[in-house]
Amino acid sequence: MIALGLEGSANKLGIGIIQHAANGEAIVLANVRHTYNTPPGQGFLPSDTARHHRAWIIPLMKQAFAEAKISFSQIDCICFTKGPGIGAPLNSVALVARTLSLMFKKPLVAVNHCIGHIEMGREITGAQNPVVLYVSGGNTQVIAYSQRKYRIFGETLDIAIGNCLDRFARVIGLSNAPSPGYNIMQEAKRGTQFVELPYTVKGMDCSFSGLLSGVEAAANEAMDENSKRKITKQDLCYSLQENGFAMLVEITERAMAHVGADSVLIVGGVGCNDRLQQMMGEMCLDRGAKVYATDERFCIDNGIMIAQAGLLAFKTGGICSLEDSTITQRFRTDDVHVAWRE
């Protein structure tokens, strides 16, 4: 069976085509992506992002089918991101999915963005039943599977860790290409001085708004010529990562202890971060556990993860009617019935 996946919940537009062989093996036929980037110091507006997706979706679709070397008639289902995400870009991509479904008479499958990350991560790494740390620009969740649901054991109480990193990158004028988080990671590698910043963990949940305010205040102090402390932006990036990632490792370890897990899977755009993977690996080493992660092809938003999760749902009857093919900006991970797992 072959599925087409369309992802456009934020500033990355992705088209993926995946095939499930008779033996259950997942084969990536195409995985193409285009990112909407704004100038340094600026975020991306929903309307501009949607305009980008509308302009690029047909060229990307043609590229994906050229790479896959198949025709549209060979597609078994069309999978699209229902949510969570930003309304305007989500709507733009859902509209294309509906149009293709009507034109080619192919069934639709609505996919939860977070589930897409998890299922693609499980497929690529081979992780069987890990505790999942899902970290991105819009989401921060610690998740474990139980009784046909991905249960959220802990999450951010305000902004996501990725949003915290992105917003600080704007404050210090880092480029948005290839991503603000990647550029913070590179700056942090040159940091030598740790700056005390707010550390907020409340049970299984964490908060990053205080951390962001604290590092912004430290940045303002560092830019003040009369300041007695000599702090570089590299020091601030280093301190921001150390603090924020330590919070994530703490709540992940607590979830592992609660469910008796022997592995962690890191998914989402921030999951590419080398330092986060290193810190999680050190914790897992102490516990005799394993850490799994993917590279930027699969951890950054992409269409192949939507195709993978959608095809799993399609094979267990998860078809979406045209009337129900709307988007849901606050689509919770634990709202999805995971029919394809025991």
- Residues at the annotated binding site? 113, 117, 134-138, 166, 181, 273, 301
Q: In what order do the strands lie in the sheet with 2-7?
A: 26-35, 12-20, 2-7, 77-83, 108-112
Known binding positions for substrate: 134-138, 166, 181, 273
Distance CA 33, CA 324 (A): 26
Peptide bond into 178 cis (omega under 30): yes
Dihedral (C-alpha) 60, 62, 66, 68: value to the nearest 10 degrees? 70
Which string of DSSP letters, residue by residue, matches 272-335? Answer: G-HHHHHHHHHHHHHHT-EEEE--HHHHS--HHHHHHHHHHHHTTT--B-STT----TT--GGG
Known binding positions for a divalent metal cation: 113, 117, 134, 301
Which string of DSSP letters, residue by residue, matches 86-147? Answer: -HHHHHHHHHHHHHHHHHHT--EEEEEHHHHHHHHHHHHH--SS-EEEEE-SS-EEEEEEET
